[in-house]
Structure 1
Amino acid sequence: MNIKGGMEEWSYAEGQHPLRRTSYISLIKLNAADNMYFFTLVLGLWLLPKADALQCYECLPNKYGSCTETTSECPSQDYQCAAARVTSFIGDSKISDFTFKKCAQAKDCFKGSFNYGISQTRINSSCCTGNLCNTKPAPNSGLVSNGRQCFTCKGTDCTQPLNCEGSEDHCIKATVTVGGVTTILKGCTSMQFCSGDAIAQTAHMTGVDVSCCQGNFCNSASGPIGGLLLLTVPLISFILFS
């Protein structure tokens, strides 16, 4: 059986290469955890009490990506109307594309992404200040290299260079253990996903540990990473990918 993913094709027959098969399962779990993480950020910031203020369109999709568009009133005058898009890829293949509309604060409207080389998840959100101004969905994010580089993993080799894209200005390392086998992913990410405000809960729902650092190839350590800002991914019970 052949499984293709980004930079490597893994092949195995019945009873052969159990480590690579387990590693692929771990990769899928990490990618799903990243997707849940993005939705945690979007929904955690946007699911807020309503009050008399600016009116915006609201559309929060279910796990199949569909929703019924309604209108809502923002909690205060500090909020704006927002539209967001969350898109995930494995290799060059798009595996999901979700759009949101809701009230949000201006600081919560940004472009960012996780990029492990073999997989990438992007978020693109924008804000406007008029009543019901978020009529159009957020556009797709077209990213180009920004000159920064981090290590990424190809199989068990985690010393491969990866060109960061768009607003990816931090290097990242994610670790998960499945069936006693520990899998490490490395790559690039945006600073919004390395802040203490954005990620304040533990990773007990997935067992995925995430750490960030700044500087080209700063995610080089193979064991516990000293000197990095150690973070754990916050995952709330609202899971769109399972």
Structure 2
Amino acid sequence: MDLQISVFLLFILFTAGHSLSCYECMGLNGSCADQKLKTCPSGSLQCESSTAVVQVGDITSKVKAKDCASDCQSGSMNLGTVKATGSCCNTDQCNLQDAPDPSNVPNGKTCFSCENRTGQTCTSILSCSGTEDRCIKATVNFEGQSVSVKGCASKSVCDATTSVSGIVSFSCCEGNMCNGVQSVSQSFLFLCCSLLSYFLLH
């Protein structure tokens, strides 16, 4: 009996004291060569790895990152000038491999994206790629201003429950270019048709 209690207490001690360990790095030159092993804080249940490709004009840069995460979703997002993929796992040191580079293979889906930093012009048509099967629309606080962001995302990114600092609103939809201003355009068109029929019939 005493042996069983001792074994039970030892098991509780080991399971309560075990923390997840993940690799951590921030590779601004497209490589995570200097990754280090890190014991995650309590509440971190997953290890994550991400790869982002930023293209401004002819300049392309790649950023790779790894860390612990409290809530993480594998998937990809494409905002036109920024493409990112993320991989999540939940065992010790499981994020040793880098997240894959974002896919460049179009999947036939199209969404609106914003082509300027202020987010005022969001009429560019973006070809989605890989697993990106949703259109997204978000409002982000950036340097004290609200900026519109639009693009493509995987369903898993849309299903994520994590709230991200600086994001005021975030929504996803299915269907080509469903993240645009079609509802406003349709309302405007309906209003014009109503006015036209009123003048023609009266």
TM over 0.5: yes
Deviation at 1:72, TM superposition (A): 2.2
Query: What is the count of residue pairs matched by the alignment?
Result: 164
Alpha carbons of structure 1 residues 125 and 94: separation in structure 2 relative to 1, 3 Å: farther
1:115-144 superposed Cα distances (whole Å, 9 cap, x missing partner) = 232x12302314364x54543333433342
Asked whether 1:69 is paired with 2:36, we answer yes
Give distance in 2, aligned partners of 1:101 and 1:200.
16
Q: Alpha carbon RMSD of aligned pairs, Å?
A: 4.6
Deviation at 1:164, TM superposition (A): 0.9
Indicate the residue corresponding to 2:84 in structure 1: 122
Indicate the residue corresponding to 1:8 in structure 2: none
CA contact (8 A) 2:114 2:124 kept: yes
CA contact (8 A) 1:172 1:211 kept: yes
**Greater share of helix:** 2
Find 1:86's aligned residue among 51, 61, 66: 51
Report the TM-score, using the length of structure 1 for normalisation. Answer: 0.48
Q: Give aligned-pair identity as a percent.
A: 27
Q: Structure 1: which 5+ runs fail to align? A: 1-49, 226-242
1:63-93 superposed Cα distances (whole Å, 9 cap, x missing partner) = 99986613426869x956x340231312464
Q: Structure 2: which 5+ runs fail to align? A: 1-14, 186-202
Rg (Cα) greater in structure: 2
Deviation at 1:153, TM superposition (A): 4.5
Find 1:144's aligned residue among 95, 105, 129: 105
SS at match of 1:59: strand
Alpha carbons of structure 1 residues 103 and 54: separation in structure 2 relative to 1, 3 Å: farther
CA contact (8 A) 1:174 1:210 kept: yes
CA contact (8 A) 1:57 1:71 kept: yes
Report the TM-score, using the length of structure 2 for normalisation. Answer: 0.55
Give distance in 1, aligned partners of 2:53 and 2:95.
23
Give distance in 2, aligned partners of 1:103 and 1:150.
29
Tell which deviates more after alignment, 61-70 or 92-101. 61-70
Alpha carbons of structure 1 residues 146 and 209: separation in structure 2 relative to 1, 3 Å: same
